[in-house]
Structure 1
Amino acid sequence: MAPEPLLVLGASAGGVEALLELVAGLPGDLSAAVLVTVHTGDRPHSTLARVLDRAGPLPAEQAADGEALRPGRILVAPPDRHLLVSRDGVALSAGPRVNRHRPAVDAMFASAARAGGPRVVAAVLSGALDDGAVGAALVARAGGRVVVQDPADALFGSMPRAAAAAVPDARAAPAARLGPMLATLVEELPLGGDRMAETPWIPTVDDGMAGSPDPAFLRPDESATTRMACPECGGGLARIDLPRIGYFRCHVGHQYSPRSLEAAQREAAEAKLWTAIAALEEHATMARYLDGAQGVAPHPDGGYRLVAEHSAELARVMRERLMRNREP
């Protein structure tokens, strides 16, 4: 059981601005440990902890693996590591990406729900797509509280809107009012108990299906297998159903909320189409080469030239359609 109340904050695009306002409004005597995950992309370093340290009265630093949770201190997920809560403090994980991100908000929220149960307050701030929605639903299911930045106040309202849809009783407020609101909710949290809330997933290196004799492998929380493949690794996807949101996870551990899965599939489909275009263009070039190469018997009826023209035309049409229809 997490020894102190937990305040977990998740954000993506436009979320740093909201975090600065939120942190500025937190009191210096906050009784909760604060964990922050913001999508960092592929950057090797992050200055977010230093920025948040100057933004309000609470000290902030980048989290280290195995670090203890202490009230009134902010720990920030480092690039390329999930920030997770354990019985002993925090853990950094290089486990599979969640919603195409590492660190991911859903991963942090799910582990907080498991470790803290009703002693957790989760807030979803500005960001695109829907990371944080499943995690918010898990926090609410474990008895915790969920707050979202008012989507109208967010630079990107998609993430807080998705979380509010998954948790209809989530409270909403502009970023400037979130700090005092969250501090009040922390003080209203129940006294700690000695239980671990059920949560479907915390990434570990032994989460795979290799030890199972069942080809239709499902974990206890998974609802059904699907015929879809994971866009990242090609493993089979299972569906997990919560009361107001369903999501998907492969047996390796890559996990997707609905909109994140659609975006990942769209990217994977585009990559495959470009691969097909490359193959067609290479074939057209090779066929043209054979059409006039010394020592190569000519193809009957000019076949090399004809197949080269066919492949080149198909590649041209696919390229034009792909570029014309690509969403910004």
Structure 2
Amino acid sequence: MSAEPSRSTPTAVLAVGGSAGSLTPLLALVRGLPPQFPAAVLVTVHLGDSQNSRLPEILSRRSRLPAAWARDGEPLRPARVYVAPPGFHLVAAADSVSLSRGPRVNRHRPSVDVLFASMASTIGPAGVAVVLSGALDDGAVGVALVAAAGGEVLVEDPDDAEFSGMPLAALHAVTAATTSRADDIARAVDQAVARALDRAAKPTPSPTTAEEADTMAHHLAIDYLAQTESRLTRMSCPECGGSLAQIDLDQISYFRCHIGHHYGPQTLAAAQADASEAKIWSAVAGLEEEAALQRYLYETVPHASPGTPHLQVAEQLAQRADQLRELAHAWTPLVPDPERDATVLRTTAP
């Protein structure tokens, strides 16, 4: 690799996102990139908060480009791979990257949507977004913003992907996206980046707003209805309980609370199913605690409520708790969660 690309600021940025099943196509992609690749490569996969991932090491071993965990404020350089570290959103700026511990987006931190949305805001037409294998719909809103900003979207062929949820959601959000099989994805990316460099040389006004993309990674001001929000809903955020607003884009809608948690429609359904089960267990705990207090009043404070049958009330509450506990044990979500059931992304592979 020549020294010059490492010193210059890239005029194009390649952002890659994936989840379960994305390691194989990701390795195929980076393995096919030339050592003097003219764009910076930003990678976000769903690692959660695990500190055991060796993903940058694996990418460096299989690629002609150096890969490392991204560092907050690190300058962007072409022919380098910046990987979102566990527990942090990776945010793209015009000439650097930043890391954010902001609210989870689509139940993930790092989130693919955050990376793509930040690139749409700061890179615009010079950005290329790639969606690889994964369940549910993280990345779909992000690619819609990338396309609206004049960037290009590539998607792993859903028939080729181990998990087709994320590719299918991306194609629904950007119908003009290009699809590619894993064994040909590096060539498709190389061509897309060449087109991005041409667009960067002839910038055009972006039809999307920086505000819309920025809210993916930054705190929202508390307001009844923000300018970018379409309507309030009767639903609450599964993570914090705040009210959810709906945001309508051309091809896709998504939801967010004022704290900053964002959900694609499929991810919201899966998160609500988890929240419903948690509420049932919370109700079991509440009944058992109430029964315990009634027994305490019967045994220790008999004068607390004269004439109240504390022991009888305690037994009735305990019976209700047992019935609800049986229901909780037999609980089967009606909405499947392929992301939870998917094979965990293996980032310790040789």
TM-score above 0.5, yes or no: yes
**Count of residues in correspondence between the two structures:** 320
Instruction: Report the Cα offset of residue 205 of structure 1.
Output: 5.6
Instruction: Report the Cα offset of residue 51 of structure 1.
Output: 0.8
Q: 1:317 to 1:294 in 2, by over 3 A?
A: closer
Match of 2:15 in 1: 8
Match of 1:74 in 2: 81
CA contact (8 A) 1:45 1:78 kept: no
Q: Percent identity?
A: 48
Q: Aligned partners of 1:34 and 1:309: how far apart in 2?
A: 63
Q: 1:150 to 1:205 in 2, by over 3 A?
A: closer
Q: Residue type matched to 1:317 in 2?
A: Q
Match of 1:198 in 2: 209
Which structure 1 residue ranges, 5 or more long, are not aligned?
A: 210-214
Q: 1:174 to 1:320 in 2, by over 3 A?
A: farther
Q: Aligned partners of 1:300 and 1:234: how far apart in 2?
A: 39
TM-score normalized by the length of structure 1: 0.89
CA contact (8 A) 2:74 2:96 kept: yes
2:37 equivalent to 1:30: yes
Match of 1:212 in 2: none
User: Please, what is the CA RMSD of the aligned residues?
Assistant: 2.4
Q: Aligned partners of 2:326 and 2:312: how far apart in 1?
A: 21
CA contact (8 A) 2:10 2:39 kept: no
Match of 1:216 in 2: 224
User: Could you list the per-position Cα deviations for residues 39-91 of structure 1 after superposition, in whole angstroms to 9, with x for gaps in the alignment?
Assistant: 11121353211110111211111111111212211111111111111123111
Aligned pairs (5 A) from 1:157-168 = 157-168=164-175
User: Could you list the per-position Cα deviations for residues 118-157 of structure 1 after superposition, in whole angstroms to 9, with x for gaps in the alignment?
Assistant: 2111111111211001001111111211111122222221
2:288 equivalent to 1:281: yes
Match of 2:347 in 1: none
Q: Aligned partners of 2:63 and 2:304: how far apart in 1?
A: 77
Q: 1:312 to 1:76 in 2, by over 3 A?
A: same
Q: Residue type matched to 2:209 in 1?
A: E
Aligned pairs (5 A) from 1:241-280 = 241-280=248-287
CA contact (8 A) 2:67 2:83 kept: yes
Q: Residue type matched to 2:67 in 1?
A: A
Match of 1:315 in 2: 321
Q: Residue type matched to 2:261 in 1?
A: H
Q: Aligned partners of 1:132 and 1:280: how far apart in 2?
A: 41
Which structure 2 residue ranges, 5 or more long, are not aligned?
A: 1-8, 334-340, 342-350
Q: 1:111 to 1:295 in 2, by over 3 A?
A: closer
Aligned pairs (5 A) from 1:86-97 = 86-97=93-104
* Candidates 106, 112, 116, aligned match of 2:113: 106
